[in-house]
Structure 1
């Protein structure tokens, strides 16, 4: 029974690592190439290869040390590269180029 529960926990961890890697690969694939150069990060091709290999390892070669290396690469992408590239390409956290005084229907100017 205990071994079964441990297997379930490991399966959930593997699925979480796979989902995170797939999401990172999607974000990497949908970002412009020039944003990587402007943010002074590795190229888009580099991150597509690294994250693609990570997804493949998680799916086909469940070796823990390779999965951990892929998890580190995925975390680096999500925490460091993606915010920098997103800031360069103008996708700053849900705000689409507005100022801090913009309301839901346009700029708020206090009735002036």
Structure 2
């Protein structure tokens, strides 16, 4: 079965998006791993262990599933979980550990 030539660029774009998702999830997991547990509580977020589970599971899903096909919904959920950590939790954790600004 050959792929129509019009779909080849789309396949490369989907492949590039898939490859970009894996480091995103991995970065979120490593960042959560390297933070102090009390910073999560001080930032009024879920616990460190909860975020390690969420970002670790998201990274596994991003690596195992593809953004197209039958696993697309799982892949999107993994990407959203990683992005929620990076956009919402990471800045709050960083601010809490930085302390008050004068």
Common fold: TM-score over 0.5: yes
After superposition, where does 1:11-50 map in structure 2 within 5 Å? 11-50=15-54
User: SS where residue 44 of structure 2 aligns?
Assistant: coil
User: SS where residue 67 of structure 1 aligns?
Assistant: helix
The structure that has the greater radius of gyration is: 1
Q: Kindly indicate whether structure 1 or structure 2 has the higher relative contact order, using CA contacts under 8 Å at least 6 residues apart.
A: 2
Q: 1:83 Cα shift?
A: 0.6
CA distance in 2 between partners of 1:70 and 1:91 (Å) = 31
Q: Does 1:81 align with 2:89?
A: yes
**Count of matched residue pairs:** 94
Q: Does 1:61 align with 2:62?
A: no
Runs of 4+ in 1 over 4 A off after TM superposition: none
More helix by share: 2
Q: 1:91 Cα shift?
A: 7.8
In the alignment, structure 2 segments of 5+ residues that lack a partner are none
In the alignment, structure 1 segments of 5+ residues that lack a partner are 100-112
Q: With the length of structure 2 as denominator, give the TM-score of the two structures.
A: 0.83
Pair 23,91 (structure 1): closer, same or farther in 2 beyond 3 Å = farther
